[in-house]
Structure 1
């Protein structure tokens, strides 16, 4: 089969098209012909940092985690999937798990689900990592109907999905943006936009919550922005974050009695720990999409497997709006 291979890691790493052996099916797996895969920030981190990250595959490596495709073979002990099923998941590109930038992948059935019937392969491939991340953060923060939820970065990969899930759960959703184009996008998802460049945290907390703060804040920005999240959260409120790799002052969090939920959705893949939870969440994501309550936001640029290097560069440029997806 064809695969895009990285021989050496680094910011200038190049993807090369090579013929490699098709992966051998094991028990508990299905062989999937990949139609599309998406690029996530963690993928670019692996490409650039390589062995500095404990979960990077050994080079030469096939990267990529998210995919959508069609099952061509099933393992002897697999009963819940059949040949011809269209599926999606986040199942490769870490440790000894072959990535998705290839014609085929053998996927652990615990990490996949049947793709949403009303979404294309490209749309479905954009969802697994960000969808699981958004869902886990919101459910751990116990989002309830009628609560006020603030999502930072509403047109980002995780952010645009978190908005839609929070709306689906019945919350009143607000999100930070930085342009009129982004404002129009988040309004289409039913969120009220806050331009963080022109409004301070204090100003938008006073404006939208009468100074009380938001019940739940979802922060996929991290770093210093976590301090803004603590400032924006109500007393005894909930903060979910995907980026806590920083040293920051927790004083505000302490005096407001906040709960912090750190979401690192790669744990089941890296440690083979409760992988079935990912499959269960993906089933719920498919149901939400099929109800019409979830529409993926795809970047306007199109990429093929052969020019995946440009797809990675697009995401790293910071100019992408929504998910960058590669089509086979």
Structure 2
């Protein structure tokens, strides 16, 4: 099969097309004819060498998000059959080949049936961001009707799904944005309030939106200074959930307010084998919400081919995109 691989860490230019043997099935696995994938920040970090412990062996096939059609199943697989259309966070990390290839084998527990009505590129945009938002808000945060929550970055990959999930639960959602275009997107997604974080200080929007009490829950996917702002914005005994904590912080405010801090690291089930069934189950729930038109992925205006993965990575690194960057398999 053909695949886009990296043979060393580096810039987006290190992607090369290679011809490799098709992966063989192990017990409990399905083989997918890959139709689409998408780019996530973790893909950039793996390619760049920032997390070498997570990198597949060279030549490495990256990207975990996948959508495609099952072409073969192991004899012990019961949930799927040949011809099923599925989507998953299936690999692209140590011990698991990624989606930038004609074929990908994954643990059946990680997969779910593709939501009806979505294209392959739309479905491939969902797994990482929707599973992250689900774990953060539905499982760790246990949000409920009437909760006042703050989501940093509504126009981002995880953020735009988080806003929709929070509104589904009946929460009052405030989100931070950098400009009016992103504010319009946030409001269209259902946000109740928007904050222009470059113009309004934390204490000012906490006063404006919550009467100075703070938010029940703050969801941060940015990290660094934004995590500090999250501690400031949270109410006493509130909850802060982050996906980006690779930095040093003063935790005295966390202590002073009696806050709870959760860290979401979505790839743990791929690394440890624990929790894979839950990932597939959560994807099935998300697919149901998509089919009910309660959650919808937002795609960047340009869809790239696998052969253009370099350009897709460069776009994500520039941070000028809106929505998820999807890729269609054009390897022949």
TM-score by length of 2: 0.96
1:312 equivalent in structure 2: 313
1:12/1:309 CA distance change after superposition, 3 Å: closer
Cα distance in 2 for residues equivalent to 1:320 and 1:164:
19
User: Does residue 65 of structure 2 align to residue 66 of structure 1?
Assistant: yes
- 1:248-267 equivalences in 2 (<5 Å): 248-267=249-268
What is the Cα deviation at residue 83 of structure 1? Answer: 1.2
2:136 equivalent in structure 1: 137
Partner SS state of residue 49, structure 2: helix
Partner SS state of residue 44, structure 2: helix
Cα distance in 2 for residues equivalent to 1:277 and 1:207:
39
Unaligned runs of 5+ in 2: none
Partner SS state of residue 116, structure 1: coil
- 1:24-43 equivalences in 2 (<5 Å): 24-43=24-43
What is the Cα deviation at residue 53 of structure 1? Answer: 2.4
Partner SS state of residue 145, structure 2: coil
- 1:105-116 equivalences in 2 (<5 Å): 105-116=104-115
What is the Cα deviation at residue 180 of structure 1? Answer: 1.0
The answer (yes or no) to whether the contact 2:231–2:253 under 8 Å persists in 1 is: yes
1:324 equivalent in structure 2: 325
Cα distance in 2 for residues equivalent to 1:298 and 1:12:
21
Cα distance in 1 for residues equivalent to 2:12 and 2:320:
19
Cα distance in 2 for residues equivalent to 1:235 and 1:91:
38
Cα distance in 1 for residues equivalent to 2:255 and 2:118:
43
Deviations 1:66-99 (A, max 9, x none): 0111111111001111111110001111112111
Cα distance in 2 for residues equivalent to 1:295 and 1:199:
29
2:236 equivalent in structure 1: 235
Cα distance in 2 for residues equivalent to 1:110 and 1:13:
34
What is the Cα deviation at residue 274 of structure 1? Answer: 1.9
The answer (yes or no) to whether the contact 2:12–2:311 under 8 Å persists in 1 is: no
What is the Cα deviation at residue 285 of structure 1? Answer: 0.8
1:6 equivalent in structure 2: 6
The answer (yes or no) to whether the contact 2:109–2:277 under 8 Å persists in 1 is: yes
Aligned-residue RMSD, C-alpha: 1.1
User: Does residue 100 of structure 2 align to residue 101 of structure 1?
Assistant: yes
Partner SS state of residue 244, structure 1: coil
Aligned residues: 327
1:49 equivalent in structure 2: 49
List structure 1 runs of 4+ shifted beyond 6 angstroms.
Answer: none
Unaligned runs of 5+ in 1: none
Deviations 1:256-302 (A, max 9, x none): 11111100000000111121111111011111111111111111122
Partner SS state of residue 238, structure 1: strand
The answer (yes or no) to whether the contact 2:115–2:123 under 8 Å persists in 1 is: yes
What is the Cα deviation at residue 11 of structure 1? Answer: 2.4
1:162 equivalent in structure 2: 162
Deviations 1:190-235 (A, max 9, x none): 1021110111111111111111111111000111211100111111
Deviations 1:38-70 (A, max 9, x none): 1100001111116x5211112111111101111
The answer (yes or no) to whether the contact 1:214–1:232 under 8 Å persists in 2 is: yes
TM-score by length of 1: 0.97
Cα distance in 2 for residues equivalent to 1:255 and 1:8:
45
Partner SS state of residue 253, structure 2: helix
Partner SS state of residue 313, structure 1: helix
Deviations 1:124-165 (A, max 9, x none): 101101111111011211111111111001111111111111
